[in-house]
Amino acid sequence: MALPKIGNLAPAFTLLDQDGNKVSLKQFRDNSNVVLYFYPKAMTPGCTVQACGIRDSKKELAKLDTVVLGVSPDPVARLGRFIEKQDLNFTLLSDEDHAVTEKYGAWGLKKFMGREFMGVLRSTYIIGKDGRLKYIMDKVKTKSHHDDVIALIRDLGL
């Protein structure tokens, strides 16, 4: 599946958050930039490092009028436990059928320990207040993800 194109409107979606509430991309339009990041599984080592980096950067992201939405195929209940366990302060969204993940081109063939399987390709999409896709990070380093995102938002002048 082709990736969404920079400059185009980001694909619309509505998913359930960690509390079972519906969250739509359009509700952030005109008010906030959105960092939409796809990660494989809540409470796994790399995903925890990545989420905690975002958690610790919340103030800086807020100064840049930016909200973060993390998307994984985890069920709502698991997302709630992840937030509780790591004291996360941003929204996680459940995409159990990975339809939204596929729309963004973040679902594909992965290789791990000699096995091939379909799964989430760790990636991040920066969406402007106008709802348009500004940047796609397809090479994400979990340890520096938060700093990389903040630097990009500044560089893009959002």
Residues acting as catalytic residues? 47
Amino acid at the residue 31: N
DSSP-based three-state secondary structure for 62: helix
Whole-Å CA distances, 130 to 9, 32, 59, 87, 92: 8, 9, 22, 30, 22
Tokens of 158: 């959002």
Tokens of 61: 């992201």
Nearest to 22 by CA among 95, 78, 84: 95
Across the beta sheet with 14-17, the strand order is 22-24, 14-17, 91-94, 66-72, 33-38, 123-127, 133-137
Sorted by sequence, the CB contacts under 8 Å of residue 137 that are 6+ apart come out as 123, 124, 125, 126, 148, 149, 152
